Amino acid sequence: MNRFFVDAWDPGYGASFEAAPAGPAAPSSAQVEAEHELPAVDWRAIGPRPEVRAPDVVLLVDGVRRIDASIWTAEEDGGSFPGLAASYAAGVVRCDLDRGAAQLAGATVERGLFTASPSATDVVAGNVRYPVHRVGGSGELAKLPAAVQGPLTALEVQVSAAARTDDDLLVVDGPLRNRRQLPRTLGYIKTQHSQYLDARLTAVVTGLPPGHRSPVFRLGTAWGGWSWYLRLPVTAGAPWAGIVRLECSADLEIAEAVWLADLSLVTLPRFASSPYKDPRAPQNLVPIAGLER
């Protein structure tokens, strides 16, 4: 008899485990080194270690972008280039775990005109200015939204740096990408697009009890680094229900990566959202949902 599970996420947000062209859980071509924390034959669910204490302060940062308008330039030679007028914002929530309090520690909104046009200048509309961000190549319209990601990432780094303390933990919503130089920083990936592990190790991940993690492994991708899976508090359901992937800098030693993995296990589950509050529960962490709103 077939067994079916309904994904707890609102379908309007996609799925917590995305199907790929080769089918659900399409294998990734990334090189994976699985035997750094534990030998592959000994892979198992790892629970909280009693000696690991959550940090006093956790910072959660997220960014959002919006396309305000698609434009076309009029060049002197009669040609034209596409462009995007975009707004992008980043904010950080400071969670003081000792006091049980959270507050918005900083938020910034910026705008830009993204185009390959050599003649484009800043656009001013009333009190709003869109500075030119010149993109390379022919600047195809379909590729312009990706050009917003660089300035948005820089803005996230800027707002989080202003709020950091010496012993905090910074959690970035999404992959770390070029933020890997930041100390004590985790990338938080709530939607799983690819299957990085072989079938036997994947079975360890999908069998994780709530509040447990997988061993740390290393991804050999362009933005590779240390990574692990964690299951947030969730009722029984689909194999990937409540599973998130965490990552930290490849520049760290394995002992430092394991320490961050243990730290994530005693820190992140407390921020998990509830289905009646959030359509992407439990993966969309409560402070991140507040930033989005």
> Is residue 58 pLDDT above 50, yes or no?
yes
Q: Read off the tokens for 271.
A: 């921020």
Count the alpha carbons within 13 Å of 25 in the hemisphere toward its beta carbon. Answer: 11
Please name which of 62, 41, 117, 60 lies closest in space to residue 85, comparing C-alpha atoms.
117
Q: How far apart are CA 63 and CA 153, in angstroms?
A: 8
Whether 182 is covered by a domain: the verdict is yes
Closest-CA residue to 228 (of 208, 249, 245)? 245
Domain assignment of residue 273, yes or no = yes
Dump pLDDT digits (tens) for 240-251. 889 999 999 999
Residue 28, both tokens: 């990734």
User: Per residue in 69-92, pLDDT tens?
Assistant: 999 998 889 889 999 999 999 999
**Do you know the residue count of the chain?**
293
User: Mean pLDDT, the chain, as a whole number?
Assistant: 88
* Helix intervals (H) in 61-148: 144-147
| Domains: count for the chain | 1
Structure-token match 């930041």, residue found: 182
State pTM to two decimals. Answer: 0.84
Please report whether residue 195 resides in a domain: yes
Q: How confident is the model at residue 3 (pLDDT cuts 50, 70, 90)?
A: low
Kindly state the average pLDDT of the residues 265-285.
90
Is the bond preceding residue 239 a cis peptide, omega within 30 degrees? no
The answer to whether position 126 is within a domain reads no
For residue 99, is pLDDT > 60?
A: yes
Residue 24 has pLDDT above 60, yes or no: no
Tell me the residue range of the domain where 212 lies. Answer: 30-55+168-292
| Predicted confidence (pLDDT) per residue in 185-240, tens digit | 999 999 888 889 999 999 999 999 999 999 999 998 667 789 999 999 988 678 88
